[in-house]
Amino acid sequence: MADVKTAASRRTAPAPPGGNLFRPNRKLTSGGLVALLVKVILLGIIDALAVFGIWVLIADENWIAAAVFLLVIIGVNYIYLRPGLLPGKYLTPGLAFLAVFQIFVIIYTGYIAFTNAGDQHNTTKDAAIEQIVRTSQVRVPDSPTYRVQVLEQLGQYGLLVTDPDGQTLFGTNDQPLDEVSGVPAGWNELNLSQIVSNQDAILALSVPVSDDINDGALRTPDGQSAYIFTSNLEYDEAADTFTNRDTGVVYADDGRGDFRAEDGSKLTPGWRVVIGWDNFAFAFTNDQIRDPLLRVTIWTFVFAAGSTLVCFALGLFLAIVLNHPTLRGKKIYRILVILPYAFPAYLTGLVWAGMLNQEFGFINQVIFGGAQIPWLSDPWLARLSVILVNMWLGYGYMFLVCTGALQSLPDDIVEAAKMDGAGAWKTFTAVKLPLLFVAVAPLLIATFAYNFNNFGVIYMLTRGNPRFTDTTLDIGATDIMITMVYKVAFGGGGGRDLGLASALSILIFIIVTVVAIVSFRQTKALEDLN
């Protein structure tokens, strides 16, 4: 009884003065002290970077992102500084990478899909106005000459100007001219050789004369003298319009990210705005994109399904052959079979592109005796070629999967089928194959999803060619949806259209998700049957 009371008093005894409230009576060992020191240093580095990031976001007036960033950093510090919470310490890095590289990407792609983002619409309205003024500037005929010195600070250039009245001014692309007493602190004067080495950036300098962009800017042709340049487009901030001083044409905000005149002409660049479902509507209504998109979508399904089936069929065949108990040299044969799977896919694609060359490729010159078979320039042969090359890349994986599945099949079920009089073919189709499908069906679904977005083999082998002749877009017979998205996003005859590419990416995501859900339901039904 006394022992019980003693134990209870120990459990309820208060922590000694100055003790750790979370871990009473525990002393830090040398190893624990080092671990604590490393943790504090790493957290200090992360917090310093976080403070800088939050400061940048606040300076950019991105209040929501700054608030979210601040809450995340507070949560990270709480998790790692508070004793306990061990699962959180392990989960936090993974969740952070998941949020940055998956969740954020998905959300941002969804946002871009509802905007007009692209070549001429990838900035803010204020930046677009400044760029329009700068690109339309011409030198004032009677402009006085300003003596200048080119200054540099951390890769940014500025002009130290002496005007005709002897006044000293300084400005940059973003900072209008302002009176100074000398070279500003932190800025360095460039000599002639440095000016020549950076002449492109220096010639592009356009230092505003004042806060009013219509007053013009100073530009230097040689790094020593500068002249006033003004735009022939005058911006009216109150009316939010540009007026061409030479022709009198007025360009007004059309609500879709452009300054547009009544005749339909517009100024470039524009700016990014939300346009709703227009990208999706354009993909299904515009003839230049709708018909190629339909053909590409059909071919994507054929390519993904065909590649998966032929890879599985060849891999299963080789697994059965090389799993025969009487076969000698199995290890050597298996190593040879998986060699293509061990090489990088992009390298294999380039090698096969050379081998299938119509004029001097190995296939035509050696195997077909110099024939000029258009493996990659004929639409149907090119499609057949990419499926066969993809089979070469993927059958090794299916061979490994099927080998493991075959070796895991219970022997008693196979023996029972043989005792019931089933032959080898009947045993395979009625017993082994259904059991095999239960094991490999999820992998087949994953392989289909991978081939649905198999960018590498298409781009390295054919780049989507041969091109369709009924569209101005760079889309071809072997393009699948992901390569089409790449061309739309990064230029393919019609310039970059990030909004349309993001809309098509969402379409791919929906298709793959629906196919995966249906396929997994069928897999579940297959498991129930077995």
Residues 93-127 pLDDT 10s:
898 889 888 898 999 999 999 999 998 898 999 99
Q: Which of 14-28, 390-404, 476-490 has the lowest mean pLDDT?
A: 14-28
pTM above 0.85, yes or no: no
Residue 276 host element (H or E): none
Residue 117 half-sphere exposure toward CB, CA atoms < 13 A? 18
Q: Which of 257-261, 352-356, 520-524 has the lowest mean pLDDT?
A: 520-524
Model confidence at 8, pLDDT cuts 50, 70, 90, reads very low
Q: What is the pLDDT of residue 457?
A: 92
Model confidence at 1, pLDDT cuts 50, 70, 90, reads very low
DSSP-assigned beta bridge partners for residue 244: 233
Which amino acid type is present at position 336?
A: L
Tell me: pLDDT of 327 over 60.
yes
In CATH, the architecture of 284-529 is Orthogonal Bundle (1.10)
What stretches of 60-124 show up as alpha helix (H) in DSSP?
Answer: 63-81, 86-98, 104-113
Q: Report the 10 Å Cβ neighbour count for 289.
A: 23
Model confidence at 479, pLDDT cuts 50, 70, 90, reads very high
pLDDT in tens, 122-132: 899 999 998 99
User: 374 near 291, Cβ under 8 Å?
Assistant: no
Tell me: pLDDT of 28 over 90.
no
Tell me: pLDDT of 34 over 70.
yes
Q: What is the pLDDT of residue 528?
A: 60
pLDDT in tens, 241-272: 999 998 999 999 999 999 999 999 999 999 99
CA 447 to chain centre: 21
Output the average pLDDT for the chain. 88
Q: Which two tokens stand for residue 21?
A: 């409230």
Q: Tokens 């004042």 appear where?
A: 210
- Is 125-260 a CATH 2.40.430.10 domain? yes
Calpha distance 425→417 (Å, rounded): 11
User: 441 near 405, Cβ under 8 Å?
Assistant: no
Q: What is the pLDDT of residue 402?
A: 93
pLDDT in tens, 186-228: 999 999 899 999 999 999 899 999 988 889 999 999 999 999 9
Which amino acid type is present at position 5?
A: K
Mean pLDDT of 491-520: 87
Helix (H, G, I), strand (E, B) or coil at 227: strand
Q: Sketch the domain layout of the chain as residue ranges.
A: 125-260, 284-529
Tell me: pLDDT of 234 over 70.
yes
What percentage of the chain reaches a pLDDT higher than 70? 92
Tell me: pLDDT of 16 over 50.
no
Helix (H, G, I), strand (E, B) or coil at 1: coil
Q: What is the pLDDT of residue 12?
A: 47
pLDDT in tens, 52-70: 989 988 987 788 889 988 9
Q: What is the pLDDT of residue 10?
A: 47
